[in-house]
Amino acid sequence: MTDSNSKMPAGMAPGLIALGLATAYLVALLGAEKQAVIISLLVLGIGAVVGAAWLGLFDRVSRSFADHEDALGGSAIVAALALAAYFHEDHFVLLLVVTVLLTSVATLGLNVQFGYAGVLNFAGASFFGVGAYTSAVLNAYTSVPHLIVLPIGGVIAALIGSMLLLPVLRTRGHYAAVVTIAFALLFKTFLEVNDVLGGPQGMQVKGMNILGWSFNDNIEAGGITISFYMGYFLLSLALLIAAFVLVRRLERSWIGLNLDALRLDETAASCFGLDITRWKITAFLIGNFLIGIAGALFGMVGGFVGPNNYTFADSLILVSILLLGGIGNPWGLVVATFIVVVVPEKLQTIQEYRFLLYALMVIGVLLFRPEGLLPRPVRRYFPRWRP
Amino acid sequence: MDLGLFAQYTMNGLMLGMMYALVAVGFTLFFGVLDVIKFSHGDVLTVGSFTALATFVGLSALGLHSNWLALLAMLVVATLAMAFLGMLIARYLVMPLRSAPPLNTLLITLMLGTVLRECVRLFYPQGANPKPFPALLPRASVDIGEFNLRLDNVLMLSAGVLVIVGLQYLLNRTKLGLAIRAVAQDEETARTMGINFTGIVLITFALGSGLAAFAGVMNGLYYNEINFGIGLYLGVIGFAAAIIGGLGSIYGAILGGFLFAGLQTVGTVLLPFASAYKDVFAFAVVIAIMAWRPTGLIREKISERV
Amino acid sequence: MNPLLQARGLMRRFGGVVALDGLDLDVAANEILGLIGPNGSGKTTFFNVVTGIYGADAGTVTFGGADITRAPSRAVYKAGIARTFQRSRLSLPLSIFDNIMIGNHQHLNQGLWFNLMRRKAFKREFEENYAAARALVEVFEPAMADRLFEPVAGLPMIDRRRIEICRALISAPKLLLLDEPSAGMTHEETAELMDDILLVRERNKNLTIIIVEHEMGVIERITDRCVVLNFGRKIADGPYREVAADPQVQEAYLGVA
Amino acid sequence: MGKTSRIAAAGLAAAIVALAGASADAKQKVKVGFIGPLTGGVSVNGIGGRNSADLAVRLRNADPKSKYEYEMVVLDSECKPNVAVQVATKMAADKEIIAGATHYCSVAAIAAVDTYHKFGFPVIVWGAVLPDITYRNKYPEIHRVNGTMINQNDANAALISSLGYKTVAVIHDTTDYGKGHNEYFSKALAKIGKAKIVGTFGVTADQQDFTAELTKIKALNPDVIYFGGLTPIGVRIRSQMDKLGVKAVLDGTSGIVSDAFIQGLGPLAEGTLAFREGAPVEKLPGGKFFMENYNKQKYDGAPEAYGPFAFAAMDMIIDTIEKVGPDRKKVIAALANVKDRDSIVGKITFDDHGQNTVPVITKYVVQDGKFVEWADSEYASGKRKLPGQK
């Protein structure tokens, strides 16, 4: 836990420097092609992180972030835009970044469910899939404006999730885990054997189109070609910012307190008037809504949905992001999503050994840093507020 | 339905249920002593059956041709090796995480499962391919109408029953069993009774993992084919079975295992238009059971101290 | 005068064990009642049945005239009953302030829109509550009042007890149930804590307290009246000195049943 | 900086200049791509394909007459559509990669074709058999050296009917591959009209236990069990048939033509039928050449059934680049006019959808632990008989 008692607000400099270094590192890593370069960069990155942790620099950075969240969050947005501008032509890098942004939105949703309310959800990828299938169906058969499709995807994910409410509310711990695991397996098998939604063949998804501007065309401006993924990037970034602010405000409110209270001790919480059912439902639905929206947009980005995208294994990846990042800390989630999405993608030469290394990496983090990369600090309702 | 056909379905269901039950019992044992879910259990089963296969290949290379001896050697080697692996897992992955949230244990063992699975695939010779598993049991069979009663199935079922009865005996009638049950009841009391907590946990993990190896060999003998993915599926189903039965209860695990096998069989028989829906059906029933009985069919004895 | 809390024929079994066996109990408004008895005599079970954690197998509980026998925990709290627990049940990763605010649930605006969108109004409510929590904590331990945003996990047992009591008091309940507040503390610490509780009661004369306690010194010093339970029944009722002299009570404590 | 280190630095600089000069003399580097399933249940086929494509690149690089030096970029589709789209985007977006030999899995291929089209990236499919990959759209970028499952199933139905079998039970996996096979096989069988399908069973691709389905099938007592799916579950079904005493002939598709199938079953594989597009490699002059060179490279694992197609696809890509230069548009234009081109899998002709039209189908039966061409087998000559063979 960070020392939140200090009356002196921390400086902004450590946060800005860390942000700058991280951005430069990402540009280098995303742009690197040669495997030797990528591996050296990864080793360098791990070394730098371990070294910084050893020197206690992390603490200063996280204090800086805690006290200047708005300003540093704004800088992070600028950094993301700069990154995208640098890679404006590079389709694949932009696709990766979009994947990171939307996966972050989904893990933010999981974070509300599990990180705050303690409601386990091992079917995150399934609800992501519900969103994606929603946009596939709506874009193909209806003329609902595509921007409206996104919240519809979220609502449908929340609705389908509410079918699980009864068992989820009644069970606890590992028993609750099995409910969502069963749902994840059921969902994928159902999609596979049911022809209406394309079966295992999946469905094509029409790309985003806002008032005649098709997101799937490259943008030619003054001799510069800008990748068609740029539109998706901007939209995903906006979505992530909105989700981030929402989750942040939720945490820093009485509702966040309620969720923490019921996660940590249901009996004590209900002795102080908490309606356990109401808040569990709220968290479960908000979480699925966020996951569904992210899925709906991702369906349009990928242009394709199929049952294999949304397996139990994918749900596990989402949960492992949550643990890696540090449960309950939105900043940690974004960082962990970057690691989990980008690193295996960059390590294509080790091809068949990727899963092995990934699994070993997660084991290492769980053993040596069980609270995640960026543990959640104590709640502060208004970061810069001092009594 | 034709009686012979019915008998055949029952036999299939029993074999399937026996394997699920053996896996589920392992989950329940681990949960009993440490309140953790060891999700790598299914993949320990895979490693166990590949160890047995490797033993067989090794013995054949040495010129041993007695089926019974080979089977005995396979069982001994696989069970001991997995028992040892189970102890290693408990000692270096599960115990260090005791103070962390239970989800961490679940995830670390899941990841370990991936490591084991990938290691089999990558490092066992041609590990990505399905492997033939020798049929070492007598293959005599009788046809009774549509029912093909095979001696090897009967032997395997009996062996499974024996193992479960033996386990019951061990838990209920021996000093070791008493110690395990004491630890499962309450760690602190067990410690004050002078029970070596760590030792008992390690032994329990060895026991459960040895069971998985046994189930792995049985799986190989039954299907005569093993592949690196068998554990993933068996692990998930075994876990679900232990849960619907009620964690911490051996009987619950056995009940859950046979129930799940029954659901799958009934799903195939009763859904003639699409037997592919049988897993959808089985998992939907699991969810419904959890809604109906949130702590499993055989309820855990929880007396929450307030 | 009507009793504030009234139990009639309260029964509760756990399997074959009868924890409450037709208990009758009256608590008058503004009194401090000591609830004593040997281990397993049903004291904590009584609290749990009153606060709706356990259901009653038979009998009724009324509070201020209203039947609360079947009311869920949160309704009992809304009616004005707050409690502490025998084993400290604070939320350790949360701050002192958060833990106290959990106890103030019914006075906090729980609207989704208010919490997420009306941040200015929320800030005002937050500041008011901060002031209230701080004032309450100052009664118990002035040094802690400056550290309300520190996690509870690192605090010593006495501070945790204090926070638990603040959590129960912040919502200004009519009835406070204290379940062995001295557990895990030294004599001096317990005495200090009791003085603080009496101080709070000085300010709020409407507060009724039921205290379960093994430290007879505590009971003697602060209670107006004592009820002794054994095997889920009331075996004695009266001022501490009288009750302590009762041979039936002595027998129960010595275990010569 | 000390004197010695300055000297060292100068030496290093000189070495770099020298190296740069040397590489200027070397051939221009050209990147080509390969995509296949390198992880997961069918990874053997993906790795066999990758090795075969790699062989084509190595042989060309060893040839002093070639104009360019080729470098193969390998990506893993994991047999998943989402991953396929991701890696297809990665490959197609890299302008240095001129063309690719892509996809064994149909579900991956069909997901990725739009991406290739969007980026104008020419590909030759080397293993996926779903007709839609070439025929759903008319994308000039997409070509395929192997045939579709239609041809395969026509040949299959014809053989079954000619052997006098009357009843068939169908098991197919519920992926597009299995469903497609079910569809085309049923059509082909109905057209001939001699045998009828008595039951159809969909199974998931990761299923382990088939005893329930097979018990039902046993009650239906068919002559033949047609199986549309890949090797792993094919092996399970065949060995569980034996367990339950199901005597029918197992009639598989191209998905089980792999050494893994025979290794997984041992003697039980005997008498299994299977079909694959293209002429049998070992019978073509180029096939012998291919196998010899493949074995020389000491790859881990066999080329598997579609390795030769991967080799042919990569070889055709390199040939085309040699001819028209490393330019995607020119490569697409050149590939539009492929007619009677010799390759190790026989003559290749692309139709207007980029589909190889040479409808050669090889019929196989497993005999003594080998996939033997039906016509050469002792089953065809009558020396041995399949169960119920007339």
Q: Where are the beta strands (DSSP E) in A252-334?
A: 304-305
Closest Cα in chain A to C52: A271
Q: At what angle do helices D211-220 and D231-244 cross, to 10 degrees?
A: 60
Closest Cα in chain A to B297: A175
Query: Position of tokens 């779903």?
Result: D130
Say if residue D6 is exposed, middle or buried (CB neighbours under 10 Å; 0-12, 13-18, 19+).
exposed
Cα gap B118→B229, rounded to integer Å:
9
Confidence at residue D30, expressed as pLDDT on a 0 to 100 scale: 93
Query: D27-147+281-359 belongs to which homologous superfamily?
Result: Response regulator (3.40.50.2300)
* A319 reaches B (C-beta below 8 A): yes
Cβ-defined contact of A363 to B111 (cutoff 8 Å): yes
In A, what residues contact D, Cβ < 8 A? 90-92, 95, 99, 189, 192-193, 199-202, 204, 216, 227, 302-306, 308-309, 345, 348, 351-352, 354-355
Measured CA to CA in angstroms, residue D235 lies from C70, C77, C133, D165, D252 at distances of: 61, 64, 70, 23, 11
Count of CB atoms situated within 10 Å of the CB of B126: 16
pLDDT band at C45 (very low <50, low <70, confident <90, very high): confident
Length of chain B equals 306
Cα gap A316→A362, rounded to integer Å:
12
Q: What is the DSSP letter of C25?
A: E
C217-227 residue pLDDT tens: 888 888 888 88
Q: Which option is the CATH number for D150-277+363-381: 3.40.50.2300, 1.10.10.1100, 3.30.390.10, 3.20.19.10?
A: 3.40.50.2300
* A316 reaches C (C-beta below 8 A): no
- For chain D, the domains span 27-147+281-359, 150-277+363-381
Cα gap D21→D219, rounded to integer Å:
76
| Best mean pLDDT range from B44-48, B180-184, B230-234 | B44-48
Across B2-6, D165-169, D188-192, least confident range: B2-6
Count of CB atoms situated within 10 Å of the CB of B301: 11
Closest Cα in chain A to B89: A363
B61-85 residue pLDDT tens: 888 778 888 899 999 999 999 999 9
Length of chain C equals 257
Confidence at residue B274, expressed as pLDDT on a 0 to 100 scale: 58
For the residues C111-122, what does the mean pLDDT come to? 89
Measured CA to CA in angstroms, residue A294 lies from A48, A124, A233 at distances of: 32, 11, 12
Say if residue B86 is exposed, middle or buried (CB neighbours under 10 Å; 0-12, 13-18, 19+).
buried
Contact list, D219 vs chain B (CB under 8 Å): 2, 5, 146
Cα gap A82→A76, rounded to integer Å:
10
Cα gap A105→A111, rounded to integer Å:
10
Query: Position of tokens 């021996």?
Result: B174
Cβ-defined contact of B306 to C53 (cutoff 8 Å): yes
Q: How far is B210 from chain A (nearest CA, A)?
A: 23
Contact list, A251 vs chain C (CB under 8 Å): none
Cα gap D312→D281, rounded to integer Å:
11
The gap from C-alpha C20 to its chain's centroid, in whole angstroms, comes to: 19
Query: Pairing mode, if any, of strands C81-83 and C175-179?
Result: parallel
- Of D79, D53, D41, nearest to D307 by C-alpha is D53
Helix/strand/coil (H/E/C) assignment for every residue in A366-384: HHHCCCCCCCCCCCCCCCC
- For chain C, the domains span 1-80+173-257, 92-171
Q: How far is D367 from chain A (nearest CA, A)?
A: 33
Return residues 148-167 of A near B (CB < 8 Å): 164, 166-167
Reduced to 3 states, what is the DSSP secondary structure of residue D71? Answer: strand
* A370 reaches C (C-beta below 8 A): no
How many helices (H) and strands (E) are present in chain A, helices listed first? 16, 6
Is residue D283's pLDDT more than 80?
no
Q: Which two tokens stand for residue D4?
A: 């010695």
* Residue-wise DSSP of C152-220: GGGS-HHHHHHHHHHHHHTT--SEEEEE-TTTT--HHHHHHHHHHHHHHHHH-TT-EEEEE-S-HHHHH
Q: Which two tokens stand for residue C57?
A: 């197998």
Contact list, C103 vs chain A (CB under 8 Å): 272
pTM for the model: 0.85
Query: Pairing mode, if any, of strands D249-252 and C66-67?
Result: unpaired
User: Does residue B259 or residue A361 have the better pLDDT?
Assistant: B259
D93-152 residue pLDDT tens: 888 899 999 999 888 898 899 889 988 899 999 989 889 899 988 899 999 998 888 888
- Of A267, A284, A280, nearest to A158 by C-alpha is A284
Cβ-defined contact of A381 to C85 (cutoff 8 Å): no
* B279 reaches D (C-beta below 8 A): yes
Say if residue B1 is exposed, middle or buried (CB neighbours under 10 Å; 0-12, 13-18, 19+).
exposed
Contact D124, D309 (CB under 8 A): no
- Neighbours, chain C (3 or more CB pairs < 8 A): A, B
Cβ-defined contact of C87 to B305 (cutoff 8 Å): yes
Query: Position of tokens 């969810």?
Result: B287
Confidence at residue C1, expressed as pLDDT on a 0 to 100 scale: 55
Q: Where are the beta strands (DSSP E) in D126-231?
A: 142-144, 167-173, 196-203, 224-228
Cα gap B86→B216, rounded to integer Å:
14
Cβ-defined contact of A192 to D93 (cutoff 8 Å): no
Contact list, B295 vs chain A (CB under 8 Å): 171, 175
Q: How far is B283 from chain C (nearest CA, A)?
A: 33
Same topology for domains D27-147+281-359 and D150-277+363-381, yes or no? yes
Does C touch D (3+ CB pairs < 8 Å)?
no
**Interface probe with A: pick from C68, C83, C91, C134, most Cβ of A within 10 Å:** C91
- For chain A, the domains span 91-207+235-348
Contact D197, D169 (CB under 8 A): yes
Contact list, C93 vs chain A (CB under 8 Å): 1, 260, 264, 378
Cβ-defined contact of A249 to C116 (cutoff 8 Å): yes
Reduced to 3 states, what is the DSSP secondary structure of residue A223? Answer: coil
Length of chain A equals 387
pLDDT tens string for chain A (387 positions)? Answer: 344 444 556 778 888 888 888 889 888 888 887 778 888 888 888 888 888 878 878 778 878 887 888 888 888 999 999 888 888 888 888 888 999 999 999 999 999 999 999 888 899 999 999 999 999 999 888 888 888 999 999 999 999 999 888 888 888 777 888 889 889 988 988 888 777 887 777 788 888 877 767 776 777 666 677 777 888 899 999 999 999 999 999 999 999 999 999 988 888 888 888 888 999 999 999 999 999 999 999 999 888 888 878 888 888 889 888 888 888 889 889 988 988 888 877 776 665 677 788 788 888 888 888 888 888 888 888 877 777
Assembly ipTM: 0.81
Cα torsion at D265, D269, D273, D274 (round to 10°)?
30
Helix/strand/coil (H/E/C) assignment for every residue in chain B: CCHHHHHHHHHHHHHHHHHHHHHHHHHHHHHHHHCCCCCCHHHHHHHHHHHHHHHHHHHHHCCCCCHHHHHHHHHHHHHHHHHHHHHHHHHHHHHHHCCCCHHHHHHHHHHHHHHHHHHHHHHCCCCCCCEECCCCCCCCEEEECCEEEEHHHHHHHHHHHHHHHHHHHHHHHCHHHHHHHHHHHCHHHHHHCCCCHHHHHHHHHHHHHHHHHHHHHHHHHHHCEECCCHHHHHHHHHHHHHHHHCCCCHHHHHHHHHHHHHHHHHHHHHCCCCHHHHHHHHHHHHHHHHHHCCCCCCCCCCCCCC
Q: Which option is the CATH number for C1-80+173-257: 3.40.50.300, 3.40.50.10470, 3.30.70.250, 3.40.1710.10?
A: 3.40.50.300
Is residue B305's pLDDT more than 50?
no
Confidence at residue A2, expressed as pLDDT on a 0 to 100 scale: 42
Contact A248, A255 (CB under 8 A): no
User: Does residue A294 or residue D258 have the better pLDDT?
Assistant: A294
Report chain A's terminal Cα–Cα distance, integer Å. 20
Q: How far is A218 from chain C (nearest CA, A)?
A: 37
Contact list, A261 vs chain C (CB under 8 Å): 91, 94, 102
Cβ-defined contact of C89 to A255 (cutoff 8 Å): no
